[in-house]
Amino acid sequence: MALYTPPSRRRRRLVLTGIAGLVVGAVAGLLIGRATVTTPADRIAEVRSEAEDIATRVQALTIEYEQALTGTGDTVQGGVLDALDGIDRDAHQTLDLAAWISPANRTEVEQALQKVRQEAQQQVPAEAFADDTAAAAGIIRDVLGGS
């Protein structure tokens, strides 16, 4: 047997249920939003990690370069210059992520990478190339905060 419920009580239940759903949804959205937001500390840590990776990759080019010069590995184009293309791309993305980097510091990183590219294209002695890659890696670490 069904009980009669007046229309005013049904409307009140409907409104209260709607308000409760709205409150629960707003609280859940706020909690999810705060949990997924990237904080400045997260961004700094990401940039530092990427800087260390890029600097290590630059220094590793000396191995490929020496092998290319001695003919025991890939060519300078395949082993060094193609790898530098990827390093340049990743460095630009990391610099874009690091909005706090000044234009002068950004230029310093770009020029260091460009110097490594020019040295590889000119096929300078391996010792000079190693010095330039070490200098470029140091600049990347200094500017972007790698360890």
Question: Would the CA dihedral through 127, 129, 133, 135 be positive or negative?
Answer: positive
Q: State the pTM of this model.
A: 0.74
Structure confidence by residue, pLDDT tens digits, 4-37: 778 888 899 999 999 999 999 999 998 888 888 7
76-86 per-position pLDDT tens digit: 888 888 999 99
Quote the pLDDT of residue 78.
84
Q: Note the pLDDT of residue 147.
A: 56
Do 132 and 116 touch, CB atoms closer than 8 A?
yes
> What domains are defined for the chain?
41-144 (1.20.120)
